[in-house]
């Protein structure tokens, strides 16, 4: 990712970056990177909990970006985002891009059983109906969610951010592990980029019961393990993986995921889990709830990644080119 890209400054009278209430720190960092002020505007709450968006500077004909991670509380953050979009659209913005670093409900992307919703598609439909012209997101749970939209989506890959951290660890004898068989491809991609083997952890129903047993397929003894995933929610799967890996004699365990959701009881689980370090990005803000693991937690920033993407979108430059060099590295 070339930082020289910012040689020519953006015209802050033409691009406007606003933020909802879910992750204003990240939006501010992106603005700092872009060297444009964060747009003046805010979400206000009425006593009955309804919210209203007010924009305090003119946006007519401007290229507007509204940042909102749809993390917890997801429903409130989504509605707030829809209202921002409606507000900007009715205020005659030239283009409204919803920047959604963490895209909530992305796991509800299919019907595994009868009579359930496909909420990720619903959210895509509602974003379009509210009036979004484009979407930017990072590491969607399934790449197919991009196809849920008819408007253009720039799907950013935080892999380079995580890989850069991995490399600083200077580990030898590496094995990449997917904690879930649905995600082996991700482990394989890292192994191909950085060298090393892969292994998987198989979760099997025991005969005659509903309890499950896990066992490792592949060779891990004495190796450094890097567990990679797109998100850590309740940390159940990843902590189970740590335990069985340790039981199989691995050396050190490192965990990396783009989105640190850390929903209860993630902290209780992670506090006792036998890993060395865990890295997530700032797509979701970390509050003091991460105290139990703060010594082992690394928070990497996607602000530069998002900033470069926004700059390129604004200037009609290729966003996919952002990732070219990393792939060849």
Should residue 190 be labelled a site residue for its own copies when binding is judged by CB under 8 A? no
- Candidates 113, 172, 211, 287: give the one binding its own copies (CB under 8 A): 113
Site for its own copies in 236-295 (CB under 8 A): 261, 263-265
Beta sheet of 15-19, edge-to-edge order: 15-19, 63-67, 95-100, 134-138, 153-156
Residues whose CB falls within 8 Å of the CB of residue 168, separated by 6 or more in sequence, listed in order: none
Residue closest to 130 by CA, chosen among 162, 168, 98: 98
Site for its own copies in 156-175 (CB under 8 A): none
Is 203 annotated in the active site?
yes
H or E element: which one contains 236?
helix 236-247
> Where does this chain touch its own copies (CB under 8 A) — which range of 20-28, 182-190, 247-255, 292-300?
182-190
The neighbouring-strand residues paired with 229 are: 257
- Candidates 9, 35, 129, 325: give the one binding its own copies (CB under 8 A): 129
- Candidates 233, 240, 246, 267: give the one binding its own copies (CB under 8 A): 233
Distance CA 319, CA 329 (A): 18
8 A C-beta contact, residue 95 and residue 133? yes
> Where does this chain touch its own copies (CB under 8 A) — which range of 158-166, 200-208, 274-282, 296-304?
200-208
> Which of 14, 164, 203, 246 is labelled catalytic?
203
Residue with tokens 């290729």: 318
Should residue 204 be labelled a site residue for its own copies when binding is judged by CB under 8 A? yes
Should residue 222 be labelled a site residue for its own copies when binding is judged by CB under 8 A? no
- Candidates 5, 184, 244, 290: give the one binding its own copies (CB under 8 A): 184
Catalytic residue numbers? 203
């Amino acid at each position: 990712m070339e930082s020289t890209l910012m040689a020519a400054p953006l015209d802050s009278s033409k691009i406007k970056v606003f933020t909802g209430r879910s992750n204003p720190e990240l939006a501010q960092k992106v603005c700092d990177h872009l060297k444009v002020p964060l747009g003046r505007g805010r979400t206000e709450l009425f006593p009955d909990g309804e919210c209203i968006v007010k924009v305090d500077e003119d946006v007519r004909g401007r290229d507007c970006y509204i940042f909102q991670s749809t993390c917890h509380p997801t429903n409130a953050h989504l509605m707030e985002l829809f209202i921002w979009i409606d507000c900007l659209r009715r205020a005659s913005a030239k283009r409204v891009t919803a920047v959604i670093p963490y895209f909530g409900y992305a796991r509800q992307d299919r019907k595994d059983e009868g009579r359930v919703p496909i909420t990720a598609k619903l959210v895509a439909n509602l974003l379009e109906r509210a009036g979004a012209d484009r979407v930017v997101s990072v590491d969607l749970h399934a790449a197919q969610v991009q196809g849920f939209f008819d408007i253009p989506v720039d799907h950013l890959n935080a892999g380079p951010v995580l890989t850069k951290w991995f490399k600083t660890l200077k580990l030898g004898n590496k094995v990449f592990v997917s904690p879930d068989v649905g995600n082996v491809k991700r482990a394989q991609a890292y192994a191909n980029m950085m060298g090393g083997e892969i292994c998987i952890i198989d979760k099997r129903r025991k005969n005659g019961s509903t309890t499950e047993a896990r066992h490792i397929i592949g060779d891990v003894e004495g190796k450094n393990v890097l567990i990679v995933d797109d998100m850590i929610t309740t940390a159940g799967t990843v902590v189970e993986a740590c335990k069985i890996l340790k039981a199989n004699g691995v050396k050190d365990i490192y965990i990396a995921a783009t989105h640190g959701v850390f929903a209860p009881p993630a902290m209780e689980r992670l506090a006792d889990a036998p890993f060395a370090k865990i890295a997530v990005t700032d797509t979701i803000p970390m509050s003091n709830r991460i105290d139990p693991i703060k010594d082992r937690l690394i928070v990497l920033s996607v602000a530069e990644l998002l900033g470069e993407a926004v700059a390129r979108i604004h200037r009609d430059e290729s966003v996919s080119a952002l990732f070219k060099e990393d792939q060849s590295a």
